[in-house]
């Protein structure tokens, strides 16, 4: 099989976790920048990473990278790439992309140049003057960073955070990939309960159950790459069979999902059922300000409402104070709280043992991690970029 240069994108702050997932699949990383991890792999690996990666947003094939300070350089660089290896005579090839800290700042102009360059290359190779673009869709994406242009083809199609189990979500939903990352950071393991007391549509608890049961996040969905002519159909069949062979049947409860709003619990139950993990999650109504620690080992992993999801900032700040007092009674449980508030630790009443910068979509957040008993903790927050 051919070897390709692949790029997996992710939310800012998740590059290390994504790289670890790529390593675990036995693939070799070749580079990392903000929001992107590059690695090499075959057609089989394209299927495997799309099906198995929990923190990736998309997986691309990178055709090439070159300097592009002018539109002429962009055009010639794009035209020199082997598009005909991937895109057939009748296939569609829409273009989109981004430009950051580069001289070529106009996205529409860059799109037009890239489209024309690819069309010229394909028309020349296929000996035609017009490309009908009625066949398989090959989404081209360019990424220009500090005047270096990368040209890629998207193999995922619909973003990977859309697992398929959550057709509807509550207000300001937590992206599935970020929920999966929060669970990973909490080190989920057998015999340790994960409890999300602000469960909303149930994403954190569902991702926890999927991880503990080793269910691949993309096992039930389709990908753009399944229609690509150069990737054999059996590759996807084998990749799904491989993923399914690793699943674990665990009949007992692995996570709790509670919320003060009874309406969102209906969403959580429906989503857990679609994800195939309803039997592993206890879903119930409870106020996070008054919950009590059960008699077992566990971790709280949650995304409390902040300004965007509450009637006002004052209400959110009051909530942080209240849960700070209540969660103190959960020691020695570990606690992981995602918040967009820069004053969270002061309001919560305790400095985190570690702080990790993350993004919930475009909202900058921090994951506050508490894993030491309160009497052993110092008063200086530990931060990680």
What are 250-304's pLDDT values in tens digits?
Answer: 888 999 999 999 999 999 999 999 999 999 999 999 999 999 999 999 999 999 9
Q: Where are the beta strands (DSSP E) in the chain?
A: 4-9, 28-33, 36-41, 58-67, 95-100, 140-145, 148-154, 193-196, 255-259, 281-285, 298-302, 334-339, 354-360, 363-370, 383-384
Question: Are residues 147 and 195 located together in one domain of the fold?
Answer: no
Residues in contact with 44: Cβ distance below 8 Å, sequence separation at least 6, in sequence order: 1, 235, 238, 239
Residue-level pLDDT at 332: 96
Residue-level pLDDT at 374: 62
Which of 270, 280, 265, 261 minimizes the C-alpha distance to 207?
280
Question: Are residues 372 and 311 located together in one domain of the fold?
Answer: yes
Q: Is 253 left (phi over 0), alpha (psi -120 to 50) or beta?
A: beta
CATH of the domain at 372: 3.40.50.150
CATH of the domain at 59: 3.30.2130.30
Expressed in angstroms, the distance from the first to the final Cα of the chain is 38
Residue 163 included in any domain? no
Q: Which letter, b or e, does each residue of 252-266 get, where b requires 16 or more Cβ atoms within 10 Å of its Cβ?
A: eebbbbbbeeeebbe
Residues 257 and 205 sit within 8 Å (Cβ to Cβ):
yes
Q: What whole-number distance in Å separates Cα of residue 65 and Cα of residue 289?
A: 52
Residue 223 included in any domain? no
For residue 138 the two structure tokens come to 């090959």
Question: Are residues 186 and 130 located together in one domain of the fold?
Answer: no
Question: Are residues 133 and 202 located together in one domain of the fold?
Answer: no
Residue 210 included in any domain? yes
Residue ranges making up the domain that contains 322: 176-216+248-384
Residue-level pLDDT at 170: 57
Question: Are residues 181 and 125 located together in one domain of the fold?
Answer: no
Residues 349 and 321 sit within 8 Å (Cβ to Cβ):
yes
Residue 338, CA distances (Å) to 181, 182, 320, 327 in order: 11, 8, 11, 14
Name the pTM for this structure. Answer: 0.93
Q: Which of 154, 187, 204 lies at the terminal end of a domain, its last residue?
A: 154
DSSP code, position 252: S
> Per-10-residue mean pLDDT for the chain, 385 residues long?
94 97 97 96 98 98 98 98 98 97 96 98 97 97 97 98 84 88 96 96 97 96 97 98 95 93 95 97 98 97 74 82 97 96 94 96 93 61 46
The SS3 assignment for 52 reads: helix
* Total domains, the chain: 2
Q: What whole-number distance in Å separates Cα of residue 72 and Cα of residue 78?
A: 10
R_g over Cα of the chain? 23
């Amino acid at each position: 099989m051919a070897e390709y240069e692949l790029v997996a994108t992710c939310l800012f702050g998740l590059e290390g976790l994504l790289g670890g997932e790529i390593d675990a699949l036995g693939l070799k990383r070749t580079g990392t920048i903000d929001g992107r991890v590059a690695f090499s792999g075959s057609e089989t690996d394209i299927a495997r990473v799309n099906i198995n990666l929990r923190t990736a947003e998309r997986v691309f094939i990178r055709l090439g990278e070159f300097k592009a300070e002018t539109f002429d350089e962009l055009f010639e660089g794009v035209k020199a790439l082997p598009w005909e290896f991937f895109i057939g005579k009748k296939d569609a090839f829409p273009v989109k992309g981004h430009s950051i800290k580069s001289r070529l700042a106009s996205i529409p102009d860059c799109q037009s140049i890239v489209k024309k360059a690819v069309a010229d290359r394909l028309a020349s190779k296929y000996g035609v003057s017009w490309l009908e673009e009625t066949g398989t869709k090959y989404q081209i994406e360019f990424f220009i960073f500090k005047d270096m242009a990368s040209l890629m083809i998207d193999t995922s199609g619909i973003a990977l955070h859309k697992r398929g189990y959550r057709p509807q979500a509550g207000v300001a939903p937590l992206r599935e990939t970020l929920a999966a990352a929060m669970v990973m950071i909490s080190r989920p393991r057998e015999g340790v309960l994960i409890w999300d007391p602000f469960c909303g549509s149930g994403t954190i608890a569902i991702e926890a159950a999927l991880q503990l049961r080793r269910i691949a996040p993309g096992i039930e969905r389709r990908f753009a790459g399944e229609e690509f002519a150069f990737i054999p159909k059996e590759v996807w069949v084998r990749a799904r069979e491989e993923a399914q062979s690793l699943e674990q049947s665990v009949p007992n409860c692995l996570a709790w999902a509670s919320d003060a709003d009874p309406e969102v619990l209906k969403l959580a139950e429906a989503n857990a059922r679609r994800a195939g993990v309803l039997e592993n999650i206890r879903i119930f109504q409870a106020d996070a300000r008054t919950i009590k620690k059960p008699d077992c080992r566990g971790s709280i992993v949650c995304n409390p409402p902040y300004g965007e999801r509450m009637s006002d900032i004052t209400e959110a700040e009051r909530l942080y104070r209240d849960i700070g007092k209540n969660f103190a009674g959960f020691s020695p449980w570990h606690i992981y709280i995602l918040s967009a508030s820069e004053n969270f630790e002061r309001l919560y009443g305790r400095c985190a043992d570690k702080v990790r910068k993350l993004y919930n979509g475009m909202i900058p957040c921090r994951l506050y991690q508490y894993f030491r008993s309160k009497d052993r903790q110092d008063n200086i927050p530990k931060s990680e970029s």
